Amino acid sequence: FEAARRRLASEIVHWGYVPDRDAYWRWLQQADILPVTSRHDFFGRSVVEAMAAGVLPLLPRRLAYPEHLPESWQATCLYGDEDELKLRLGQWLEHGWPAPQQHLRQAVRRYDWALLCPIYDERLAHMRGEN
């Protein structure tokens, strides 16, 4: 990461931790694409947050990532190996990337706590016998 940081210093607009949630959200909304190379990720929260902010992800075809994408976007946003990642990222950088429109934002809306909280409350109340 440090080598990339030095090499790309003139292109990097922010590096590191953002202490404030609102500032983090503003940084996400300024991003266009999110290339991900993770080999271990339980859920992919940062990917879901980026998609909710309108960022186009480029994700490995493994772990939980395919589950976050509508089937119609999987061929665009998923890659199989490092060569495919480099090829796709290169194409996007040279020729532009597809605009995610609302499809990807809508796909991760199901994780929005404002929508989930009432469902959890209802199910927990039902388990306690409060019908």
Total tally of structural domains belonging to the chain = 1
**For residue range 44-55, what is the model confidence (pLDDT) as tens digits?**
999 999 999 999
Other Cβ atoms within 10 Å of 44 Cβ, number: 20
Burial class (CB in 10 A: 0-12, 13-18, 19+), 10: exposed
Domain that holds residue 56: 2-127
pLDDT tens-digit map of 52-104 = 999 999 999 999 999 999 999 999 999 999 999 999 999 999 999 988 778 89
Domain containing residue 9: CATH number: 3.40.50.2000
Handedness of CA 53, 58, 60, 61 (dihedral sign): positive
CA dist., res. 91 & res. 46, Å (int)? 24
pLDDT single digits (tens) 8-33: 899 889 999 999 999 999 999 999 99
